[in-house]
């Protein structure tokens, strides 16, 4: 049995990563493969919290932009994260896991309201907890929501599963000279304006000494590799 480096994790998956090649909506083959890996991590005794973005359905700033009042556009974005959370909980249950959705915004017909203590209890019971609706406030992102929840549940690390395989010196899709970093400090990410998370999320992680590992979801087994301490992607932590 492999040894585990991180016993309680917060897995952040961007909405777009769940959409697969289509980049919009949900790709159930991606969701199923993520569930399989979450199941393997759970079988190793890892406690798993999940935050899913909403970009596969709606991003407030990008899709609403100057056509909508920002708070309204962001409310739609938060609702998109709830749709993803419900889809993921449904899939996890089909894979034989017990999963609960805890939302930052009350909507008790669909899911439970988030409290830190409920999340902690469920995690200790071996349930997968999916945190929905981000921080519950406009002008934030689900990256910030992920760091906030990770800090609250005292996670050992945040696993940022993205469409890129780490943090680069420049956009690797646009700049062929872009270099991937193995390890960075929070200060380096912020000072060099590297595309890891938004700055609000990164400063919250820095203030609370929360380790982040950024890697590609393209191979979902990467989640297990990171949990077991394999050096893939880019790790952001204190010196
Ligand atoms: N959002 C928000 N407050 C939060 C989290 C998210 O208003 O605390 C809204 C915001 O409009 C954002 C959208 O939800 O664009 C989807 O989240 P995000 O862009 O972080 O999703 P991802 O890029 O990870 O798929």
Say if residue 1's pLDDT is above 90: no
Distance CA 211, CA 5 (A): 12
CA 171, CA 180: separation in Å to the nearest integer? 10
Split at pLDDT 50, 70, 90, the class of 147 is very high
* CA 32 and chain centroid, separation: 17
Q: Whole-prediction pTM value?
A: 0.97
Distance of CA 148 from the midpoint of ligand 1 (Å): 14
| Cβ of 74 less than 6 Å from ligand 1 | yes
Cα–Cα separations (whole angstroms), residue 27 to 63, 178, 183, 229: 21, 30, 31, 28
Question: Which residue is closest in CA terms to ligand 1's atom 14?
Answer: 77
What was the pLDDT predicted at 102?
98
Assess whether the C-beta atom of 78 lies below 6 angstroms from ligand 1.
yes
Report pLDDT digits (tens) over 35-46: 999 999 999 999
Mutate to test the pocket of ligand 1, among 11, 56, 65, 74 (most ligand atoms within 8 A of CB): 74
Instruction: Please determine, for residue 68, whether its predicted confidence score (pLDDT) is greater than 80.
Output: yes
C-alpha span between 220 and 208 (Å, rounded): 27
Nearest atom (ligand 1) to Cα of 73:
11
Identify the residue with better confidence: 100 or 163.
100
8 CB-near residues (< 8 Å, 6+ apart): 46, 47, 48, 49, 123, 153, 154, 155, 156
């Amino acid at each position: 049995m492999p040894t585990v480096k991180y016993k309680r994790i917060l897995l952040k998956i961007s909405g777009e990563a769940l959409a697969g090649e289509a980049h919009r909506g949900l790709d159930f083959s991606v969701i199923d493969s993520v569930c399989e890996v979450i199941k393997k991590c759970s079988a190793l005794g890892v406690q798993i919290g999940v935050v899913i973005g909403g970009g596969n359905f709606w991003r407030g700033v990008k899709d609403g932009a100057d056509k909508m009042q920002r708070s309204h556009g962001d409310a739609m974005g938060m609702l998109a994260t709830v749709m993803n959370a419900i889809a993921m909980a449904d899939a996890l249950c089909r894979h034989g896991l017990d999963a609960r959705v805890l939302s930052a915004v009350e909507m008790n017909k669909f899911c439970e309201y988030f409290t830190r203590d409920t999340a902690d209890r469920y995690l200790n019971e071996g349930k997968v907890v999916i945190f929905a609706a981000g921080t519950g406030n406009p002008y934030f992102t689900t990256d910030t929501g992920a760091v906030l929840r990770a800090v609250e549940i005292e996670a050992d690390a945040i696993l940022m599963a993205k469409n890129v395989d780490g943090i680069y010196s420049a956009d690797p899709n646009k700049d062929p000279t872009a270099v991937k970093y193995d390890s960075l400090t929070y200060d380096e990410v912020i000072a060099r304006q590297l595309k890891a998370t938004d700055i609000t999320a990164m400063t919250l992680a820095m203030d609370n000494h929360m380790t982040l590992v950024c890697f590609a979801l393209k191979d979902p087994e990467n989640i297990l590799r990171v949990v077991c301490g394999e050096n893939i992607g880019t790790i952001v932590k204190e010196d």
